[in-house]
Amino acid sequence: MSRRFLGIAEAAEYLDMSQRWMYRESQRYGIPRYYFGGLLKFKVEDLDQWTRQQKVS
C-alpha cells in the first residue's frame, strides 16, 4: 500500500492535468485530497483508484 503524498504540481503531472484544474476540480470530481499545513496533497493510491472509476465503456 502506497502512503506517498504528492503536492499539487506532482499530482497534476501524474494525471496529465493542469495545476489549475487540480485546484478547481478536485473537489467537484471527488478526488480525495488532504491538507497539511495549508498545503493541498494527494495520495498516489487515491489518485489511482479515482482514475479507475473514471473509465468509460
Query: SS in 3 state form for 5-46?
Result: EEEHHHHHHHHCCCHHHHHHHHHHCCCCCEEECCEEEEEHHH
Secondary structure class of 57 (helix, strand, coil): coil
pLDDT band per the 50, 70, 90 thresholds, residue 9: very high
Give one word for 15, left, alpha or beta, with left for phi > 0 and alpha for psi -120 to 50: alpha
Q: CA-CA distance, 21 to 44, in Å (whole number)?
A: 17
Task: Look at residue 13 in the predicted model and tell me its pLDDT.
Answer: 96
pTM, to two decimals: 0.84
- Which pLDDT score is estimated for 2? 53
Task: Give me 13's grid cell.
Answer: 503531472
The confidence score (pLDDT) of residue 57 equals 79
19-31 mean pLDDT: 90
